[in-house]
Amino acid sequence: MKKSFILFLSLIFTIIFIFSGFGCKAASVSQADTSSAEDRSETSAGIDQSTTSADSESSTAGESEKQQEDAVSGILDINVWEGYLPEKVIKMFEEETGIKLNITLAADNGTMITLLEGGGKADIIMPTQNQVNRLYEQKLASALDLDKIPNLKNVGESFKNQQWSMWDGSKMGSGDTYVIPYVFGTSGIVVNTEKYAGSLDNAGWEILFDKELKGRVSTRNSAESIMICLDLGKIPRTDLLDDAESTLEKIKPRVLELKDNVLKFYGTGAEIMDLLKNEEVWVSHMWDGGGRNLMISDPKFKYILPSTGGLGWTDTFMIPESSQNKEGAYRFIDFMLREDIAALITEEGNMTTVTGAIEKSNIENKEFFAYSGKQIDELVWQLNFPQDVIDAYTVFWEEISLS
């Protein structure tokens, strides 16, 4: 009996031991599963952290790109001539680029140059081509990266690579390009064909000296009248650079002859328009804008370029060396060189160097705005004279015109 009791207890302990072992294994499996779940959770958290880290890096990169974008966008300070930037164009540029335009209307070239000389702020200025040398010489202009202006292809070939557009650090005519010509104009002759019956074929500046028109002609009260006399005398304008005083003396008889033939030297566009409309003057030297307006208002007026070539000028785009937003400036220039944008500028009454602008515009009398490639090639551009030459011919002109 005792033996049987002992055997019974042994059996009980064995069963307890076995169940105890299963319990440990079950606990172990449960722990392993829990551990595995925790591992997955950690791995999951690791993936999430990795994703968060990537998102963070992406966010940082995005912020960096945004900062760069802001540098390009932000504000662009530009100095432009009145009438060159209609409200519609401003709105289109700002909406397309996110760049806010801070616009200052230029009063004259001297104001723009003085601004930069004094350390003033501008990202775009529009100097006339005969003034750009003053900015080159003072290192106030930035050489242009033409690859950033793909729409440069729209600019007429006759306007590209002009001597005044390039600078090599010491002289114009070679080196990098510093300006892009944009709005341009010509100076020619307006004729009242009901009063002047002569042929206009191959007519030149000589018409201003025609004795039969004495007292019925006019020309500008400016140095341009000196240039006309130089061109007629076939005296290169560059002679003024070599010896201004002796060159001016050579044309003095011609200038006095002109003075004797004119009714008066006019001072403003409004003045000469009135003289022509009132038929006090029948023939005059005049800018093309006024000439077009006269032709549109009355077909008896004709605007022609002289046989020796019209006088040409162009206001250019230049990025100052001190610009704080050069990338934005490049975007502005490229935008303005689009045909559709140039067409809108044309509708404001301005001629641009962009081919196709006239055709795309909604202006009437488009034929009055068109020039042939030959006429553009023959334009005589005002030279970039140094101040001492400017002073010399200014004094010379004042002495004659006021005497």
One-letter amino acid of 81: W
**Distance (Å, whole) CA 358 – CA 370:** 8
Higher pLDDT, 5 or 114: 114
| Residue 4 belongs to a domain | no
Residue 365 has pLDDT above 80, yes or no: yes
pLDDT at 252 over 90: yes
What's the token pair of residue 165? 């557009």
Q: Which range, of 47-56, 117-126, 261-270, averages the lowest pLDDT?
A: 47-56
What residue numbers bound the domain in which 251 lies? 186-310+387-401
Residues composing the chain:
403
Residues 201 and 328 placed together within one structural domain of the fold: no
User: If you average pLDDT over each of 12-26, 70-84, 122-136, 360-374, which comes out highest?
Assistant: 122-136
Q: Which residues contact 370 (CB under 8 A, 6 or more apart)?
A: 358
Count of beta carbons in the 10 Å neighbourhood of residue 224: 16
Shared domain for 152 and 100, answered yes or no, is yes
pLDDT of residue 286: 95
Name which residue leads in pLDDT, 107 or 341. Answer: 341
- Answer positive or negative: Cα dihedral of 362, 368, 373, 376: negative
| Confidence band for 368, pLDDT divided at 50, 70 and 90 | confident
The yes-or-no verdict on residue 10 having pLDDT over 90 is no
Residue 62 lies in a domain: no
> Residue 258 to residues 174, 199, 213, 267, 295: CA-CA distances in angstroms?
38, 21, 11, 16, 25
Instruction: Report phi then psi at 108, rounded to 5.
Output: -165, 175
CB distance 134 to 108 below 8 Å: no
If asked whether residues 136 and 258 sit together in one domain, one would say no
Determine, yes or no, domain membership for 77.
yes
Percentage of the chain with pLDDT > 70? 82
Alpha-carbon span 220 to 205, nearest angstrom: 13
State whether residue 175 is helix, strand or coil.
coil
**Spatial CA neighbour of 210 closest among 218, 202, 220:** 218
* Amino acid identity at 289: G
Q: Which residues of 139-175 are buried (b: 16+ CB within 10 A; e: fewer)?
A: ebbbebeeeebebbebbbebbeebebbbbeeeebeee
- Is there a domain that residue 304 lies in? yes
Distance CA 47, CA 329 (A): 44
pLDDT for 285: 97
Host H or E run for residue 111? helix 109-117
Q: What is the pLDDT of residues 26-57, one digit of tens each?
A: 333 333 332 333 332 322 222 232 333 344 44
Instruction: Give me the pLDDT at residue 73, please.
Output: 62
- In a shared domain, residues 145 and 283: no
Residues 360 and 393 in one domain: no
CB 165 within 8 A of CB 149: no
Is residue 111 situated within a structural domain?
yes
Which 3 state secondary structure label does DSSP give 252? helix
- The DSSP letter of residue 383 is P
Q: How far is CA 86 from CA 125, 232, 259, 267, 336, in A?
A: 17, 39, 40, 28, 12
Q: Tokens 């200014």 — which residue?
A: 394
In a domain, 363, yes or no: yes
Query: Same domain, yes or no, for 392 and 286?
Result: yes
Q: Which residues contact 284 (CB under 8 A, 6 or more apart)?
A: 189, 190, 208, 217, 218, 219, 266, 272, 275, 276
| Nearest CA among 130, 140, 74 for reference residue 102 | 74
Q: What is the pLDDT of residue 118?
A: 94
Contacts of 290 (CB under 8 A, 6+ apart): 190, 269, 272, 273
| Domain shared by 322 and 174, yes or no | yes
The CATH number covering residue 166 comes to 3.40.190.10
Does 378 fall in a domain? Answer: no
Residue 14 within any structural domain of the chain: no
**215 and 317 housed in the same domain:** no
Q: What is the mean pLDDT of the chain?
A: 84
Instruction: Return the SS3 of 263.
Output: strand
pLDDT above 80: residue 396: yes
Q: Which pLDDT score, from 0 to 100, does residue 265 have?
A: 96
- Going by C-alpha positions, the residue among 217, 193, 207 that lies closest to residue 280 is 217
CA pair distance 167, 176, nearest whole angstrom: 6
Q: pLDDT tier at 72 (50, 70, 90 boundaries)? A: low
pLDDT for 52: 35
Same domain? For 172 and 319 the reply is yes
Tell me, yes or no, whether 199 and 320 share the same domain: no
Same-domain check for residues 348 and 273: no
Provide the domain count of the chain: 2
Q: Are residues 129 and 116 in the same domain?
A: yes
Which two tokens mark 252? Answer: 């003095």
